[in-house]
Each structure stands twice: as C-alpha cells, then as structure tokens.
Amino acid sequence: MKLIDKLAWIEIKDNSILLTKSYGKDKFYIPGGKREDDESDEGALAREIYEELSVTIDKSTLRFIGVFEAQAHGQPEGVFVKMTCYSGDYFGSLNASSEIEEIAWFKYSDKDKVVGVDKLIFEHLKQNGLLY
C-alpha cells in the first residue's frame, strides 16, 4: 500500500466548509497540501494555505480535528491518502491564487460531490455538530 501524506485546513462558516478546485482538476478538495523537508504540520499548513488562498493562518489557534485515510482520487487502486486535519483562525481575505482555480462553500448535502477522504471528513464534522 502506498500512502500520500497530506495536511488539510478545515474552515467552516455558516454551516458550510471551504473547498478549493485546482486548475485541471475535476473535483473540489479541502485546502492544504504536503510538507516540505522538515516542516512541522503548522508550518506546512500555513505555507500551503497562504500559497492557495492568500491568507495567513494564525498558528497559535490551530486545533487538531483528526486523521482520515481513503483511496486517493485519480490514483491507482491501493494508493491511499492520509489527511491530517486542523482548523484555525486566519488573517486576510480568501482569494484563489497559485494553482487554485476556484473556491466554494459546501454544505453537508454536497458530500457526494467530493472525493473519498473528504467524504469521511464531512461525516466526522457532521457527527461532531460542525457541519449540517
């Protein structure tokens, strides 16, 4: 089994979760990305979110949400993605930048429009009263 290790930032507003769609992709994803070299979770997440959405994560407010694993979208069978998720406050205005084509707010009822690991995250957030 191959594992793709990623970080994700959970931003919820008005019972909706922020998702992004990269150029050339067919699905929306929870924003985040991979660590570089010896980056901490906090450092990597702050860098990725700044690159994707032009906002600065307040690292002192990051709260661990959970770790979720599922078959990786668009990858051969047996390639899994592991998403370590955090929520936290940010400074600035959300704007699609870099490789991000579009940002959108999804409700729980939109869960069938997201990839497998994000569906698990949607379920977790609903069970914990964070997403409706």
Q: pLDDT for 5-35, tens place per residue? A: 999 999 999 999 999 999 988 889 999 999 9
In the predicted model, is pLDDT for residue 43 greater than 90? Answer: yes
Mean pLDDT confidence for 56-66: 97
Query: What is the phi/psi pair of residue 83, to 5°?
Result: -110, 120
Mean pLDDT confidence for 35-60: 95
CA angle 22, 28, 30 (to 5 degrees): 95
Q: How far is CA 127 from CA 20, 27, 108, 120, 122, in A?
A: 23, 24, 11, 11, 9
Q: What is the DSSP string of 36-58?
A: -TT--HHHHHHHHHHHHHS-EE-
The domain locations on the chain are 2-127
In the predicted model, is pLDDT for residue 132 greater than 90? Answer: no
Using pLDDT thresholds of 50, 70 and 90, give the confidence band for residue 46.
very high
Contact 7, 84 (CB under 8 A): yes
Global pTM value: 0.93
Query: What is the phi/psi pair of residue 31, to 5°?
Result: -65, 150
Query: What is the phi/psi pair of residue 3, to 5°?
Result: -125, 125
Q: pLDDT for 62-118, tens place per residue? A: 999 999 999 999 899 999 999 999 999 999 999 999 789 999 999 999 998 899 999
CATH of region 2-127: 3.90.79.10
Report the pLDDT value the prediction gives residue 19, as an integer from 0 to 100.
97
